[in-house]
């Protein structure tokens, strides 16, 4: 079952400059940053009530976020949906012919289990399924 929108993710070139903008210009609550080695990104989170904004900066040229920034200059990258059972959700979506980029959960920020759907399946929107 999909419980809620967990976060909105935005790809950025310069994470420290963007942290200042989101914290000091928008005035959002900064929750901290971490490197997610498996996804080759550094992430920073901000809270707006119970939805988070996740800023993504690539850790190197081999990061998928590097390719995204090169192609599009950064910007809105994905929407994350919190689910109660990620394996069951992946199975259910695949049965309904949704293409998955990850058919098995991976480890994301805060040690959550995550899996991405293919943007082709949802009009170009990249969805992350996330189980805390
Ligand atoms: Zn995310």
The whole domain housing 100 covers 2-131
Task: Quote the pLDDT of residue 38.
Answer: 85
| Ranges of the chain whose pLDDT falls below 50 | none
Task: Quote the pLDDT of residue 128.
Answer: 97
Please tell me the pTM assigned to this model.
Answer: 0.92
Sign of CA dihedral 11, 17, 23, 24: negative
How many domains is the chain built from?
1
Task: Quote the pLDDT of residue 6.
Answer: 97
Task: Quote the pLDDT of residue 9.
Answer: 98
CATH code, 101: 3.10.180.10
Are residues 89 and 2 in contact, defined by beta-carbon separation less than 8 angstroms? yes
Environment of ion ligand 1 (residues, CB < 5 A): 9, 54, 80, 128
Task: Quote the pLDDT of residue 13.
Answer: 96
Task: Quote the pLDDT of residue 29.
Answer: 97
Task: Quote the pLDDT of residue 109.
Answer: 87
Residue 60 alpha carbon to ligand 1 centre in Å? 18
């Amino acid at each position: 079952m999909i419980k809620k929108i967990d976060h909105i993710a935005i790809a950025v070139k310069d994470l420290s400059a963007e942290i200042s903008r989101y914290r000091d210009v928008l005035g959002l609550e900064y929750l901290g940053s971490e490197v997610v080695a498996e996804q080759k990104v550094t992430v920073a989170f901000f809270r707006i009530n119970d939805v988070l904004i996740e800023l993504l900066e690539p850790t190197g040229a081999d990061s998928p976020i590097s390719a995204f920034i090169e192609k599009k200059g950064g910007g809105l990258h994905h929407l994350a949906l919190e689910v109660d059972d990620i394996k069951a959700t992946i199975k259910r979506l695949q049965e309904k012919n949704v293409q998955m980029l990850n058919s098995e959960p991976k480890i994301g920020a805060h040690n959550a289990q995550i899996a991405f759907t293919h943007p082709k399946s949802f009009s170009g929107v990249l969805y992350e399924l996330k189980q805390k």
